[in-house]
Structure 1
């Protein structure tokens, strides 16, 4: 059984990161984040909702040892002129000199060249070290991977939806990763917005899996480097951490997650559709 507690190198960046990252979508107290960092989680994702408590946690854990954590800031902006001010404000609030990643969020078509140029200028200024992109258009990643393999991609990592309900990346994404020089791959929405842990959404007679098994599902795929969690409180954070101790799913556990995922996929529409989804199988 693999050890999910062992940090990995994220793509070609040289950054060692935990297999579990923490996002800022919910309202966890900064002490929850600080405790998780003390327990080995070193990837912090300050998303589109830049919660003040999350910013305080970043300041606290990075104080005195900036390299202790890998910090990502996200921007959904489509206006190139707004990108630098957004990142500069975030740096001041977090009291950091740089972010390890700037994530350009939700690009289902290629980002405009002017926006990529603005992101590259932030790299040249030393305000961000690497660029990442997220998308709901899974098939589009194949072109980015070809660019990455020949050294022509501005992005060092990619973030995509992958969980027991939405498994389309197993056809559209993972088989197309370069065999040797590959980018970092991060998965999010591991619980499918809580649906995978909701007793009301289970097949008849099936108890819901614990959240840890949702994170284990994503991390059990060999092409997933990291999975993000969005804890609302200490209990949810500690539950996510238990995934690292439990390790990858057994074949029986994996079959169960597939069965539950298929049931949910056929009955409950996603909040955001994925380009590449196919009916009736999971996408």
Structure 2
């Protein structure tokens, strides 16, 4: 497969999705760069069609040079999502993007997001307006947030200044189906799901569980089987994990029996 070929313009399917607000078509298996993947694994991910990368300045030294080179080679192919460590003022937001652009050797970020809204960042007029100004300046394509507070996320989803939500969604925490997704009948941002394995809790047999235990690929398929989820953020530690995650998508969406199994397990894991 040609690692440098642009994604084909065909209709959305289980493995690809057009991000309407970001403006690019992506492979739905996004990759977080801070869990150990090295340059070899990154190159292999490109060969598998990966083109959405979640990058932070922490624990990404092994992959950053390879990401910079990919962006230099074909910037429009790839989506890079990142954000400032702290974002409680408009100044934090503005200074943060300048630092990230320099570190990644690019003149714009596809998604610039506020991390963990309500804890390390704040969605308020000053920060939201700073994001809007950065979009006007062409330094970012889309404004996003990561957030665990689902009712707050539901309110924010209707704000025209917000383009992408990064939310917890997995078999043990499917509450977005009740608290968030119904709001999308009004306005729908792009949605990236993370913690698909519930920090690996879903990969371990809980006490009293006699059924099959899923692998990480099953957890990613659960998230991607929702029509409200555009992509899932995976965190491979090495090339083998990355390859296994991509291989799992060949099994397609969960069938009804698999969905029941994952939800039954999720209820046990959640407690």
- Work out whether the TM-score is over 0.5: yes
Q: Shift of the alpha carbon at 1:220?
A: 0.6
Q: Shift of the alpha carbon at 1:48?
A: 6.1
Q: Shift of the alpha carbon at 1:246?
A: 1.3
Q: Shift of the alpha carbon at 1:105?
A: 1.2
- 1:187 aligns with 193
- 2:221 aligns with 216
Q: Shift of the alpha carbon at 1:3?
A: 4.1
1:155 aligns with 2:162: yes
CA RMSD for the aligned pairs? 2.0
- 1:97 aligns with 107
Looking at structure 2, the residues matched to 91 and 16 of structure 1 have their Cα atoms a distance apart, in angstroms, of: 22
Q: Using a 3 Å threshold, how does the CA distance of structure 1 residues 202 and 68 change in structure 2: closer, same or farther?
A: farther
Is contact 1:105-1:134 (8 Å) kept? yes
Is contact 1:46-1:54 (8 Å) kept? no
Number of residue-to-residue matches in the alignment: 257
The TM-score normalised by the length of structure 1 is 0.84
Looking at structure 2, the residues matched to 118 and 145 of structure 1 have their Cα atoms a distance apart, in angstroms, of: 18
Q: Using a 3 Å threshold, how does the CA distance of structure 1 residues 30 and 203 change in structure 2: closer, same or farther?
A: farther
Looking at structure 2, the residues matched to 47 and 80 of structure 1 have their Cα atoms a distance apart, in angstroms, of: 20
Q: Shift of the alpha carbon at 1:63?
A: 2.3
Which of 52, 60, 69 is 1:43 aligned to? 52
User: How do 1:105-254 and structure 2 match up within 5 A?
Assistant: 105-108=115-118, 111-147=123-159, 153-178=160-185, 182-199=188-205, 201=206, 203-254=208-259
Looking at structure 2, the residues matched to 87 and 30 of structure 1 have their Cα atoms a distance apart, in angstroms, of: 24
Looking at structure 2, the residues matched to 49 and 207 of structure 1 have their Cα atoms a distance apart, in angstroms, of: 35
The TM-score normalised by the length of structure 2 is 0.88
User: How do 1:10-89 and structure 2 match up within 5 A?
Assistant: 10-47=19-56, 49=58, 51-77=60-86, 78-89=88-99
Looking at structure 1, the residues matched to 221 and 117 of structure 2 have their Cα atoms a distance apart, in angstroms, of: 27
Looking at structure 1, the residues matched to 248 and 233 of structure 2 have their Cα atoms a distance apart, in angstroms, of: 12
Unaligned stretches of 5+ in structure 2?
Answer: 1-11
Looking at structure 2, the residues matched to 143 and 168 of structure 1 have their Cα atoms a distance apart, in angstroms, of: 15
Looking at structure 2, the residues matched to 114 and 176 of structure 1 have their Cα atoms a distance apart, in angstroms, of: 25
Write out the 4+ residue segments of structure 1 that deviate beyond 4 Å after TM superposition: none
For residues 81-113 of structure 1, give each alpha carbon's deviation from its aligned partner in whole angstroms, at most 9, with x where no partner exists: 233332222212211111111011111496122
Looking at structure 1, the residues matched to 32 and 234 of structure 2 have their Cα atoms a distance apart, in angstroms, of: 6
Question: Could you tell which deviates more after superposition, 46-55 or 125-134?
Answer: 46-55
Partner SS for 2:211: coil
Looking at structure 1, the residues matched to 85 and 55 of structure 2 have their Cα atoms a distance apart, in angstroms, of: 12
Looking at structure 1, the residues matched to 228 and 57 of structure 2 have their Cα atoms a distance apart, in angstroms, of: 26
